[in-house]
Chains A and B, each alone.
Chain A
């Protein structure tokens, strides 16, 4: 089947089976490799993209279901104001270790802040708990979200950046 989808503001055309997950369309057809494969069944959040601004797990989103929804990936999220702020905070706090989950984390964090620019700790937890970080960067993810939101963060490190 041929599908025409809107990705990062550009219309792209792909030829694939209807059941192909958006994840593999992005990665193997369109060579947008930033969206990652972690679990394949929406348990880890590594493949998080935005569909019309809402976080979605690309690994369980068949291409046939995307329709006219605007898809935004890590490659395009820096074009939005919140996406840019989140990425800046991520770098300023050196959040990542291996980095494999971080595209999904950034997509989830950007969706959160776009909807709720001053999230509480509990709201951060519920928005982010779908995204596993195997390296355990959670304290910094939380701090980076607050920094992007202009909220105070508690930094106990004795040597500061």
Chain B
């Protein structure tokens, strides 16, 4: 193996590698003569970026192959999955593969975790990188033996010449291969899936053994020489400013190196996740800084923001629902005329709360500012956005910012914001020291970019056959000065739009001074509950089986024209055949037909949701404990994310985990505001799902003949309405507000 790494595993030895630029590494690697680098241009048109294969693959003379994982690892297994794609096509044995985490570098093109996009964006490009490497090794062998390349084949790190039986290892061929011209990536041939030896196999996370040894892999574990520790106190009312603070007293406390005010940079600090004003304390030990923080006496302005409260929002939503909407998102047919002809008309209002992400690893970041520039070690989903924010806020040339992507203890969308990065960077520059910033739990819950709350006022009509013929949603959501807040949108194409002839989506906005942002399955994590629950109401009102009504509404299998390309990729078309496929599969696996013969007090509920190109149908079987709390007996999921599950270990984990994530939201999670402040502060007031509430989850993959897509998000939304629909089947009581209030489900409850 080569003595140096492209991207030093910055945290594993407790001493981050520094100053090894890519070029320096290339020179070192070649000079060392050990590891040979395959140098060809990676020009995947889909990604519109180029990187030499050398940036991904290094083959040592002993046959050990080092593959770089380009994306951040936030717990979804991408550090394992993306290299699997390269290794498969390179045709090496997984046991001989070593993985290195890339740094942020334009050479790799997009480097982020979000939108369930890692699989669809990288599925083909990563395979091509591996296939290009294999082709160069084959060419090198053919040259060595002076035989036609067609007579050579590669397998498990060895090239063999069929007619003569001669063999050469990749390690022996690497230096020759490195001198060859690069093949055109578009032209390389990919394997037939039947020849896969890595893709489709259960593959454990590459870092898992090290996590279980307690190695320092996470952002919170980063250690540097002469590291200081920082805490940062912000105004509990979003966007508040510091009027006065007892800095003199704080500075005299033991172990404190510095205490100072950081002025916020954003004019709209209340809703922008930039540098928010606050007070920084830097100490030799985090515990000293934290103790000092608790002694801060800060006068903030404003002290309160009375309009920004959950109660005020609820009053305002009810008022807006009775008023003309602020805007029309979509209008098909004539809803009022259709309602007039309907056999039955239903009205219902649904509401869901703000949510904090509550990653178990609180936000943190390490930064070191010196004459070389700003070096940042961040557990982040979006290192490039973080670097940009730091560059803009601190006025540092982007080329002088280096970002190490450090394993994150959960993300769920929280770490797509970069507030913790800019805070660490500012504190490091101000003090001239390497600084590790760490938030405590209450700060983490009280300074998030929240999943926005929302209110839906539905009205729908069904015909004599129970089919919906008119549908209206007055969506009361949040925004500022007429613009909808981040992740608070209702897409005009949201189901059942296009499937009910007369349909209207209208919208009104409540003014919000609280930051919002994406949370695992933005939009879907909230909208599915409201829409799929109301659809269940329509089914019951019309005497229809909720499964049959959905099959009826989506209709026969057909493919809708895809939207234009986004993220530099072709968007897969929406296919009602795939909807039908997962609905029928989950019905079969859960024994949906037995729902009418369950014991009294038990019920089954169903929901379907399409998001992030994934088709997921789920069934929940539930009853109610004597105290009114829901008891979930089992959850079934049918998932169609295409023909190939790349790593079943991580696919099952993502599906099960996102379903339990949704269950926790349905049962427990709610952020409320009073006077502009978040009320909750820790896991007592903001409880998360615990093991005794986690039912068995049975996941089935439907392998339709479509390119693979991502699974970090699509399995989350259906569980919320499926649970509420099951509780209705069990009790006759309809849950229209989240989280579920057990008082509504007690047997004595009206």
Contacts and interface: CB of A to CB of B under 8 A. Distances in A.
A33 B652 contact: no
A133 B211 CA distance: 15
A141 interface: yes
B260 interface: no
B406 to A, nearest CB: 12
A91 B653 contact: no
A151 interface: no
A1 B682 CA distance: 31
Interface stretch (B33-41, B383-391, B619-627, B698-706): B698-706
Nearest to B359: A134
B692 A126 contact: yes
B648 A159 contact: yes
B119 to A, nearest CB: 16
Given A28-B286, A75-B213, A98 B683 contact: no
Contact of B212 (A20, A44, A103): A103
Nearest to B14: A31
Contacts of B653: 94, 97, 135, 137, 140
Contacts of B202: 94, 159-161
B287 interface: yes
Contacts of B306: none
Contact of B75 (A46, A99, A154): A99
Interface extent on B, as a size class? 35 or more
Interface stretch (B217-225, B417-425, B427-435, B472-480): B217-225
B360 A101 contact: yes
Interface stretch (B190-198, B322-330, B566-574, B654-662): B654-662
A69 interface: no
Contacts, number: 197
B211 A96 contact: yes
A87 B652 CA distance: 20
A34 B362 contact: no
Interface string B192-232: 00000000101011011101111111101101000001000
A10 interface: no
Given A32-B214, A46-B360, A161 B696 contact: no
B407 interface: yes
Given A39-B682, A157-B648, A75 B214 contact: yes
Contacts of B650: 94
B242 interface: no
Interface string A106-139: 1000000000000000001110110111111111
A90 B652 CA distance: 15
Interface string A66-104: 000000011100100000000100110010111111110
Nearest to B695: A139
A134 B410 contact: yes
Nearest to A75: B214
B74 interface: yes
The listed residue with most B CB atoms (<10 A of its CB), out of A74, A135, A138, is A135
Contacts of B648: 157, 159
Contacts of A142: 691, 694
A131 B220 CA distance: 19
B287 A139 contact: no
A48 interface: no
A21 B690 contact: no
Interface in A40-67: 40-41, 43-44, 46
B208 A96 contact: yes
Contacts of B220: 33, 36-37
B212 A98 contact: no
Contacts of A129: 690-692
A103 B645 CA distance: 29
A91 B580 CA distance: 36
Contacts of A159: 200, 202, 645, 648
B211 A99 contact: yes
B441 A39 contact: yes
B416 to A, nearest CB: 15
Contacts of A134: 358-360, 410, 412, 661, 688
A138 B659 CA distance: 11
B361 interface: yes
Contacts of A32: 214
A73 B216 CA distance: 14
Given A36-B361, A161-B649, A99 B692 contact: no
Interface of B: 14, 74-77, 200, 202, 204-205, 207-209, 211-218, 220-221, 223, 229, 254, 285-287, 291, 358-362, 407-412, 438, 440-441, 645, 648-650, 652-654, 656-661, 663-664, 682-684, 688-692, 694, 696-701
20 contacts: A17-B287, A19-B291, A33-B215, A33-B220, A36-B220, A37-B438, A43-B682, A43-B683, A73-B214, A97-B410, A97-B654, A98-B407, A98-B409, A98-B411, A134-B688, A136-B658, A136-B663, A137-B653, A140-B656, A161-B202
Given A19-B291, A132-B683, 14 more contacts: A28-B285, A37-B438, A44-B360, A44-B683, A98-B75, A99-B217, A106-B212, A129-B690, A135-B410, A135-B653, A136-B694, A137-B653, A142-B691, A160-B202
Closest 4 pairs between A and B when the two form their complex, measured CB to CB: A34-B214, A98-B75, A100-B409, A136-B660
